[in-house]
Amino acid sequence: MSETFQSRVAPWMQACFGPEISGDKIERNHRFLEEALELVQANGCTRDEAHEIVDYVFNRPVGEIHQEIGGVMVTTAALCLAIGEDMHKAAETELARIWTKVEQIRAKQAAKPKHSPCLKLSEMGPTMEWSYLVAKIGRRVGALSPFFGINDAERDAVAAMQGQPWTSQREQTLRAVAQKLGLDGLFVEFGR
């Protein structure tokens, strides 16, 4: 009997990360979630839809791991059928590709703080910093506006900032909203 795909991923994990990171459940959760989000993003899922689904999932009882793995596999196969992709071929192609990228992946991993799903804030460029601030504050505004005295014009202004470049006027508006939400400390993190 031939080796399973899972058993063929194991040597790559060890070669790339070693036993500690390979067996780190928190790290594996973050990487799996990142890849799942990148797949649905590539297939047209919006940020708002993703946040709605996160809220939906985390407002339900915690599932059983074995059953949830099965659900992931079935829904991955169903998605691939819907979009005309071969999941096995895509997996084989990706495993071959990442064997050629071991050093680059190690370097990227070394740049991340332990158990952080993203780059360090200090490593973000100005454009990423601005996008992060808008997204972080924008998520809170949608659900919490009435409770923090944020008016419709402020809420709409923050929503309109998504994907827009920094301007001093936009930052001034975002700072005012962040202060009402108690998130003005975010600007300090970025040295703004």
Q: Does residue 103 share a domain with residue 45?
A: yes
Q: Does residue 140 share a domain with residue 90?
A: no
Q: Does residue 99 share a domain with residue 56?
A: yes
> Looking at residue 68, what is its pLDDT?
96
pLDDT beneath 70, residues of the chain: 1, 110-128, 142-147, 188-192
Domain boundary residue among 74, 95, 118? 118
> Looking at residue 114, what is its pLDDT?
65
Helices 152-161 and 168-181 cross at an angle (nearest 10°) of 120
Q: Does residue 113 share a domain with residue 129?
A: no
Which residue, among 51, 28, 29, 55, has the nearest Cα to 40 in the 3D structure? 51
> Looking at residue 121, what is its pLDDT?
46
Token digits of residue 141: 């505004």
Q: Does residue 110 share a domain with residue 25?
A: yes
Summarised one tens digit per residue, pLDDT across range 122-140 is 455 566 677 777 777 877 7
Domain boundary residue among 93, 118, 143? 118
Secondary structure class of 124 (helix, strand, coil)? coil
> Looking at residue 146, what is its pLDDT?
67
> Looking at residue 2, what is its pLDDT?
77
> Looking at residue 47, what is its pLDDT?
85
Q: Does residue 106 share a domain with residue 144?
A: no
Q: Does residue 70 share a domain with residue 22?
A: yes
Residue environment code for 20-55, b if the CB has 16+ CB neighbours within 10 A, otherwise e:
ebbeeeebeebeeeeeeeebeeeeeeeeeeeeeeee
Domain region containing 103: 5-118
Which residue, among 115, 118, 114, 133, has the nearest Cα to 190 in the 3D structure? 133
Q: Does residue 68 share a domain with residue 103?
A: yes
Residue environment code for 165-178, b if the CB has 16+ CB neighbours within 10 A, otherwise e:
ebeeebbebbbebb
- Work out how many domains the chain is built from and give that number: 2
Q: Does residue 161 share a domain with residue 133?
A: yes
CA Rg value for the chain: 20
Q: Does residue 140 share a domain with residue 48?
A: no
Q: Does residue 175 share a domain with residue 149?
A: yes
Domain boundary residue among 118, 138, 158? 118
Query: What is the pTM assigned to this prediction?
Result: 0.60
